[in-house]
Every structure is written in C-alpha cells, then in structure tokens.
Structure 1
Amino acid sequence: MLTRSVAVLALTATTALAQQTDITIGMQLEPPNLDPTGGAAAAIDEVVYANVFEGLTRFGPDGSVQPALARSWQTGGDGRVWTFTLAQGVTFHDGTPFDAADVAFSLNRARAEDSTNAQKALFDGIESVEAVDPHTVRITLAEPNGNFGFNLAWGDAVIVAPESADTNATQPVGTGPFKLAQWVQGDRVELVANPDYWGEAPALTAATFKFISDPNAAFAAMMAGDIDAFPVFPAPETLASFAADPRFEVIVGSTEGETILAMNNKALSDVRIRQAITHAIDRQAIIDGAMFGYGTPIGTHFAPHNPDYVDLTAGSAHDPEKARALLAEAGAEDLTLRLMLPPPSYARRGGEIIASQLREVGIQTEVTNLEWAQWLEQVFRGKDFDMTIVSHTEPADINIYARPEYYFQYDNAAFQALMDKIGVTSDAAMRSELLAQAQRIIADDYVNGYLFQLAKTGVADARIQGLWENAPTQANDLTGVSWSE
C-alpha cells in the first residue's frame, strides 16, 4: 500500500510539472506576407513583432520605448547624433552573425529611394548611418528629433540581414526568440522557440497563429478549446458568454487604432461634401451597432488615451439637416459614392450602418466587400475608391496627413510645415501645443470621418499569463507569455 501511494504521488507530481508550453493564437486576418519592412498590413506585425524580428528599440506593453538589439544609446551634436551600443553574441535564425553592418544595411534600405517600406517617412530625417565598430552604430540626423528612439521601435524599423532580406516575405529570418516553422497559407503560421536566442528565453516553446475570419467560427473554436487566446476577438457580442464561463478571461483594453471613414480627398475635393458626410454619421450608433458598445468616439486622428488628445467630436457632430444643407450648397444632392470595405467586422458591420446614415441625407453608396489583399492593392496602393473604413493601428501616426501621396491624398502645405516643426521640437509643452494644432487642422478640413478608437477586446484561456491588455502597437508579443500551473 505504501509503495502504491508513493507511485501515485510521483505520477501526480510528474503531471503537475508537465506544464503546457505551446499556444494557439487566433487572428481574424491572415498577413499578406511576413516582412514588416515591406508591407502595410497590421497582421504582419501581429505575428512577427518582437517574436521573429527585433529592432534597435521596441515598445513595451505600456507603450514605453525599451532597449532591444540596442542595449543603450546616447545623443549628442545638439540632438542630431545618436550612438547605439548593440547587443553582442546575436545571430540571425539562419546562423548569420548580427552586427553594426546589418543595422546600417537595414536603415539605409528603409530610406532608399526605391524603398517599399510602408512607413518610409520614419527614416526621412536620417542623414547617415555609420558602423563605428561591430557593436556600435552612429546615426546622424539632418535635424534634431527627440522622437527618433520611438520611430525605431516600429515594426517597420526592424533589423534584417542582407543575406535574407529579399526572401523575408515568405521565409522570415530575424533575431527574435521565435523562428518560423511553417506557414500554411490560408490556415496558420507556426513558430518554434529559437534555441540560439541571445536574450532571455521565452517560456513558450511553440506558437501557432490560426486565421479565422468568420466571427461565428471564432466563437466555436474558442469554446471547443481549439484556440487558446484570441487577443482581438471579432465578435464582441459574445464577450458576455465568455465572461460568464470560468474557463476564460475577457481582456478589454485600448489600442492605437483610430477607426475612420477614410475619404479620397482628390475625388472628394470639395470640403463641403466631406463635411456633409461627417455630419451624416452617428458615431455612437456605429459603436453600438458594429462594436456592441466597445469603442471611444473620436473627432480627429489621435488616441483619446494620449495626454495630448483634444476632444474635437463636437465639430463633426451628427446633424443630418446640416449635412443636407451642405450638399445643396455644393450642388451634390444626387451623389453616389463607392464604399470599399475590408474584411474586419468593424468595417463590414460599420459599413452597413454608415451606408444607411448617408442614405438619409441623400448620398447613395455602392458597397463593395474586398478581401485584405484586394483592399491593399486597390485602395491603399491604387487609391481607387471614394470611401473606406479602416483602423489605423500604428502608434501616434498623425504624421501620415503630411504625406500627399498617402492613400487618402490630403495635401496641405501648412500641415506639412507644422509636422516638420513638431519633429524638431523637444520641449514637451510646445510639442503638446503643436500637436493640438495638428489635430484641429485635420478636423477642420474634414479630411476623414473620424469614428472611434478601437477597443482591444480579447478572450483567453484563464490559465494564460502575460498577454498584453492594451495594444501600444500592432503586436501579439509572446516573449512574456506563459501558462500557470
């Protein structure tokens, strides 16, 4: 009897020690490729940011800028010269050593004339990148930029190797704690822990990103245990069911996602028409109908949780009568516009509501549902649209309005000059005032219809620890994730 008891205790102890070390993450959208330096889709970073690829700096879960491949840095030359001390003993997943030459290659590639980087403007201020020695990089800027460390934390600024840069879209090779095992297109991406990782090893040994576009299928997969966590759950109407089930934890936080009714400012060049469209929109009805109450109304392209946010929602308040008057003044009572909708439920559901609201003021819409690759090709790159709905999840990205070639094609020289001034201003109070001016300019120009700040509504197995509550950048950072016993 004693021997049997000891055996049972040993078995129990062995079972307790066999803690789960793999995880399956649900995502609604599949990335079009896996190279964050060559694509605009948020889904790319949601798979690879901090997991597969690393930059000189990185965002922490609280939005702070933290060391990554650069262990420290200092500025000199009146804020124009940044010197980075790099981590040592780092290799890429293919065994290629990492050093300062890779940093120079990556940043020069990102800012090159023929660069395909979606955020090329992040690197415009770089005058030169010098590999001082294998572990030291000196970057000289054309003008001081106190925000440069922040810029380098974006997924678009990760460091790649010249040996593998051209094939990262399908075979990503980074320096991160996980490396690609396989990508089954249309279904999943599988990562495994990098045994040669230079930093602290993650608790997880494997991670699968499973792509489920249908909200009903996502609900069924979570309930069946096929998915361990769905950090941005596509069916907010079902969150109450998960909250009532002790197997799950509902994680509600904030994101950097300004959800907008983007307008083609060349096709809709009359500000009165854009203003009419914004006054036709009932933001709260969209939040309630498309997001089941999750979301914060916004009146400009700026996150409400940012201390520099200015509440400008009153300037584009729901006012159908004013919308009709503006359309009549512009001679556009019989307007028909094309509304192109990408796959996310906020866009598809929100598009139905907005089409109805526009119809009430006399604007007809031709609604077209696009797959993500189609949206990127036709709307983002081709600029062939009148209106679209999308969440801009990049951090603090009001600077996109200073880029006339950007997909909504807003061209305002005064705004561009203001953003240049912000870029060289280090005084916090002055930066706050300038950012307030920037918010007011785009709100007063009715560049886009500003809808709501996207909430981060996630569901996870209650035993999982370390998932981000908020989303200071578009990422599913697994470096601190583990299972409780």
Structure 2
Amino acid sequence: MRRRRLVSVVVAVGLVAACTSPGGDVTVDTGTSIVIGAGSEPENLNPILGYAPDGAAKVFDGLVSRDASLDLVPALAAEVPTASADGLTWTATLRDGVRFSDGTPLSAQDVVFTYRSVLDDRTNTTIASRFDAVAEVTAPDERTVEFRLSYPYAPFAQQLTLGIVPRKAFDGVDVNSAPFNTAPVGTGPYTVAEWRKGDRLVLRANEDHWNDAPAIKTVTVVFVPDDNARATRMAAGEFDGTVLPPKLAHSYTGKAGYRIVRNPSADYRGLGLPSELPLTSDPRVRRAINLGLNRQAVIDAVLAGAGTPAATPISPHLDDWYDPKASFAHDTAEAERLLDEAGWREGPDGTRSRDGQPARLPVLYPAPDVLRKELALAAASDIAKLGIDAPVEATTFDVMLQRRDEAANVWGGGDPYDPDTAAYTLLHSRYAGQPGYVNMTNYRNARVDAALDTARRSLDPAARRQAYADFQQAYVADPGWAFLVFLDHTYVLRDKWDGQVPQVEPHDHGLVHAVWWNIERWTPKS
C-alpha cells in the first residue's frame, strides 16, 4: 500500500524560554514537564476494557505500533506479525528483554491473557467486536504467540496495537473491577503517578523503557470537556497545549510563544439518521437529507475551512480505498423531488407532511461540545430549508443512545487505518439493535453487508479494493447517515519542544493520539 497523503498546517511564532518564580527571579524552564488540556477523559486505563486499542497508549505497548505515515512497525513484537498462506494463523515473536514498569519480565502468556480476556464473554469490554475473527490465542513458548482465526481477516495486524497487560496483576481478581483499571502497570514509556477522576492524570517517565526513556519526564493531563473552558484556561496560562475548535484556536495566530497546529484526520462528524423513524425509514428521504446539506458552506462557516466534506465513513486519507465518486452534491431541487416522491409534501406554511403526520427530525448533540453544537445548528438549518422541522437539542451521549430511534444524533468516529475498522461495525446489519456505539441507526442493506463481508475476508488486495468500491456505491444509493465532514484537528501549543511529527489522526485524540501521539520522543528546545 502506498503511503498515505499527509498534510499539516503549522503556524509558529516566538519562543517561551523562561518564567518568573514566586519570588520574582527568572528561572530557566527546562521543558521536561508539560500540562495538556484534554477534551475527554478515559473511563479506565485497562486495554482489555477498551483503553487505547489503536495504540499510542503511553502506559502500554502493543505488539506493533504505527509510525508517522501510519505504517505498522514492531513494538513488543520483534517483527510485524504475518499470516500463514491461508490467512488463518498469525504468529508474533516477542522482543527480548522487555519488562513491565514493576520489573516483571514480559512473556507470551501475558499477551495470551490480554487477548483471551478481551474475548471472554464475562469481560465488559467495548472492543470485543474488533476480534470477531479470533478463534484461539496460544503461546507455544515464552516468546511466541499464535492467533488462530475462524476465517481469513486481511487487516488483522491492525488490531495488534492493543496494549499488553501483566497476567499476574489479575490473579484472583475480576478484570471488570480490578484496581489495575485505575492504577495500571505496563511496558510503555510512561507510568501512572496519579489519577484524580474528573480532574487530572499525571504520568511519569519510565526510565527503564525498552526504547529509551522520554525527555519529557512529567505529563499532566487535565480533563476539561467544555471547549470554551479549555480555551479560557489555555489563555490563562494553565496549559502548555490543548485541542480547540478552529475558531477558538484562531485567536493565537501571531501570538508570541505559541504555535497553532492543524493535523488532518479521518475523524468524521455526521448525523445518524434513524432507519425506523417513519420519516427517515425511506431511503429516498435519507438521500434527500444528504443532498440538501451544503457541506462546504458548513466547513467554511463552522470550521474556518479546517475540514473535508464527508459522504461515507471512509476518509480520503485511506488512499487505496477511498472512492471520490461516492459523494453527495448539494442539490436542493433533487432533494425536494425525492421528498415529494416519497409522499412528504409541502403545505401552505412550507412544512412537509404525509397522511397528516408532520415531517419532524430532532437533531441532538452533547451539550459541552461547542463544535457539535455549531454543526447541529448548521445541518438543522439546511434540513429545515427542505420543509422538515429539525429542532436542535443539547443533551448527553447516554440520552443520544436512548433516543437514537427517534432523532438524528451528531455522532463522531472514524480512523485512517483500514476501511474495515472504519465501516464494518458502524454499518453492517449484524450490529443493528445491539447496545453501545455500533450501528447506532439500525441500518440494514444487503448489498452493503455483502461488500463489507467480501472485503473483510478476502486476502487479495485487488478484490478488497473492488469490494470497498462496491460498498461505497451501494451506501450512497441508500445512506444510513448524513456524514458531514472529516475534521482537521486543531491544537494550540507553547513553542517549547522539538519533535512534533504530523500524523493523520483517528477520532480518538484525547490523551493518546493527537499532536502528542509521540510525546515520548519530544525534546526541550535549547
């Protein structure tokens, strides 16, 4: 696979080189500590339960990790694992001399325990569906792990970024409630010094890390879900870096001592359209809503241009898989024709109804998220222009899940690793009706299912490409969402460190990915 396109926009000015002590003396800032304002807080720090499954976990290492171009590279495995000729067996050989931060040597049994625990029905994990293909995990010896699959699964190596935990930490302990979940031990470049839930997480450098100790010795992550609050605290000097919506980050343009960093991502925002609501149960209505959205205008107005229009969950950054023809033009006339055809006709007041039932589609977003609020308002405005009542409501993620059958919710997700992980659990009918963040719209389409299944099981790259092209064309003919945009992630950083390397980012960009995905390799500026 050719390397993915990578675009990064950085505005840099000035350098903060010193600070003032309480006594008034000027002291040198060594740059060996950093305070990050994060927009989200993990529920736990246990990879088995779903913490940082795509790597960059800071406290843990996976068998593999990713470089700046997202290519897989060895981590705890001495080499990137490969499959047998039939695609059913993947073998990993562990690197010599790796120890957990408590001094315990890493063994193949730790890897086996980690993956078997994810597969255990008694484990309340959010990532079990990623390993549907795994039939058995075994350790022929202390350095070898074998994964046996029930069917060929071409992108399986992408799932081997999961952090490995020490088996002995769970002896006689329920994985779901183990003390480890908030005070973990890993092999990663950092250890957990303190976690005050709802406030902050403090990491200390693992001086004995197998890949050298980090130069930044202390990382303090402060959890502030409200975008405006993070912007205020960044302006007050509480943070060395934070993620901000583009409009809020723009105020730092030209400000001495700060950098604005804009990284591309496969992180989408979109409206999940409930497939069983009378209005949106008709594919013609779902197409009409997609055609009625002026995505570029939304990007320009809400994101200050920092994004790319989205039509499917497959990002343009998935170079070998993305089909640019699978898109929705902004075509209000065609949208109105489809609504008329579906029987939803305009009344004298301009609103549509069918058989006396008004066309109504509430649009919900999580209250602290300023960006989703603005996207919800912009999308609802376009939908209202079609004659559909689209009231916007602020709520919580829990309520959004509860009301997913009756409202359009502003969801986010996506990754730049493989189309399977971006689309399968989101749109395959086998996940319709299941709890949690899988197929939240109860979408069902036989052509989409067939294409996703073919692509998942085929070992032939050409056959996979064709299957994903088929998937995208089948999906835009019968959309289950109104995907809006792939975001550019925008950050503000004090200009005190070298080593930031841009990377196409996934949806998850709190503590783990984001501009600090490789913070263990950063060094203070001289």
TM-score (norm 2): 0.80
User: Which residue, out of 213, 216, 224, partners 1:212?
Assistant: 224
Q: Return closer, same or farther for 1:450/1:196 CA change in 2, 3 Å cut-off.
A: same
* CA offset digits 1:178-224 (Å, max 9, x no partner): 12122222222111112343332111111011223344433343334
Tell me the residue number matched to 1:38. Answer: 49
User: Which residue, out of 401, 416, 421, partners 2:454?
Assistant: 421
Tell me the residue number matched to 1:182. Answer: 194
User: Which residue, out of 414, 434, 437, partners 2:470?
Assistant: 437
Matches of 1:46 and 1:137, distance apart in 2: 19
Tell me if structure 1 keeps the 8 A contact 2:289–2:335.
Answer: yes
**One-letter code aligned to 2:493:** A
How many Å apart are 1:118 and its aligned residue? 2.6
| 1:480 correspondence with 2:521 | yes
Q: How many residues align?
A: 456
Greater Cα shift, 341-350 or 469-478: 469-478
Tell me if structure 1 keeps the 8 A contact 2:31–2:497.
Answer: no
Tell me the residue number matched to 2:165. Answer: 160
User: Which residue, out of 255, 259, 263, partners 1:245?
Assistant: 255
Matches of 2:63 and 2:402, distance apart in 1: 29
How many Å apart are 1:93 and its aligned residue? 4.0
How many Å apart are 1:82 and its aligned residue? 1.4
Greater Cα shift, 341-350 or 28-37: 28-37
Q: Return closer, same or farther for 1:95/1:385 CA change in 2, 3 Å cut-off.
A: farther
Q: Return closer, same or farther for 1:174/1:263 CA change in 2, 3 Å cut-off.
A: farther
Tell me if structure 2 keeps the 8 A contact 1:464–1:481.
Answer: yes
3-state SS of 1:71 partner: coil
**One-letter code aligned to 1:263:** L
How many Å apart are 1:48 and its aligned residue? 8.2
Q: Return closer, same or farther for 1:412/1:303 CA change in 2, 3 Å cut-off.
A: same
Tell me the residue number matched to 2:36. Answer: 25
Tell me the residue number matched to 1:131. Answer: 139
**One-letter code aligned to 1:237:** K
**One-letter code aligned to 2:359:** L
* More helix by percentage: 1
3-state SS of 2:113 partner: helix
Matches of 2:313 and 2:329, distance apart in 1: 15
Tell me if structure 2 keeps the 8 A contact 1:50–1:479.
Answer: no
1:294-373 to structure 2, matched below 5 A, reads 294-307=306-319, 308-312=321-325, 314=327, 316-332=328-344, 333=352, 334-342=358-366, 343-370=368-395
3-state SS of 1:365 partner: coil
How many Å apart are 1:354 and its aligned residue? 1.4
Q: Return closer, same or farther for 1:442/1:116 CA change in 2, 3 Å cut-off.
A: farther
Tell me if structure 1 keeps the 8 A contact 2:48–2:117.
Answer: no
Matches of 1:50 and 1:82, distance apart in 2: 23
Tell me if structure 2 keeps the 8 A contact 1:298–1:312.
Answer: no
Q: Return closer, same or farther for 1:449/1:26 CA change in 2, 3 Å cut-off.
A: same
Tell me the residue number matched to 1:285. Answer: 297
| 1:254 correspondence with 2:295 | no
Tell me the residue number matched to 1:398. Answer: 423
3-state SS of 1:70 partner: coil
How many Å apart are 1:381 and its aligned residue? 7.4
How many Å apart are 1:115 and its aligned residue? 4.5
User: Which residue, out of 171, 183, 204, partners 2:183?
Assistant: 171
Tell me the residue number matched to 1:65. Answer: 72
* CA offset digits 1:39-80 (Å, max 9, x no partner): 5xxxx6499833012221122222111112212234324332
**One-letter code aligned to 2:386:** V
| 1:226 correspondence with 2:238 | yes
| 1:90 correspondence with 2:90 | no
Tell me the residue number matched to 2:3. Answer: none
Matches of 1:385 and 1:192, distance apart in 2: 46
**One-letter code aligned to 2:225:** S
Tell me if structure 2 keeps the 8 A contact 1:259–1:450.
Answer: yes
Matches of 1:48 and 1:122, distance apart in 2: 14
| 1:466 correspondence with 2:499 | yes
3-state SS of 2:521 partner: coil
Tell me if structure 2 keeps the 8 A contact 1:52–1:176.
Answer: yes
3-state SS of 2:118 partner: helix
3-state SS of 1:337 partner: coil
Tell me if structure 2 keeps the 8 A contact 1:301–1:439.
Answer: no
How many Å apart are 1:137 and its aligned residue? 0.5
Greater Cα shift, 178-187 or 88-97: 88-97
**One-letter code aligned to 1:129:** V
| 1:453 correspondence with 2:465 | no
How many Å apart are 1:471 and its aligned residue? 3.5
Q: Return closer, same or farther for 1:95/1:380 CA change in 2, 3 Å cut-off.
A: farther
Matches of 1:22 and 1:322, distance apart in 2: 56
User: Which residue, out of 81, 92, 95, partners 2:89?
Assistant: 81
Q: Percent of counterpart pairs with the same letter?
A: 30
Tell me if structure 2 keeps the 8 A contact 1:287–1:452.
Answer: yes
Greater Cα shift, 198-207 or 157-166: 157-166
3-state SS of 1:341 partner: strand
Tell me if structure 2 keeps the 8 A contact 1:297–1:313.
Answer: no
Matches of 1:450 and 1:204, distance apart in 2: 39
Matches of 2:314 and 2:340, distance apart in 1: 31
Tell me if structure 2 keeps the 8 A contact 1:341–1:388.
Answer: yes
Matches of 2:450 and 2:473, distance apart in 1: 15
How many Å apart are 1:23 and its aligned residue? 0.8
How many Å apart are 1:349 and its aligned residue? 0.8
* CA offset digits 1:61-118 (Å, max 9, x no partner): 2211111221223432433221111123334345554311121122122223344333
**One-letter code aligned to 2:252:** F
TM-score (norm 1): 0.86
Q: Return closer, same or farther for 1:419/1:252 CA change in 2, 3 Å cut-off.
A: same
3-state SS of 2:251 partner: helix
**One-letter code aligned to 1:360:** K
Q: Return closer, same or farther for 1:345/1:393 CA change in 2, 3 Å cut-off.
A: farther
- Alignment gaps of 5+ in structure 2: 1-26, 345-351, 353-357
Tell me if structure 2 keeps the 8 A contact 1:456–1:470.
Answer: no
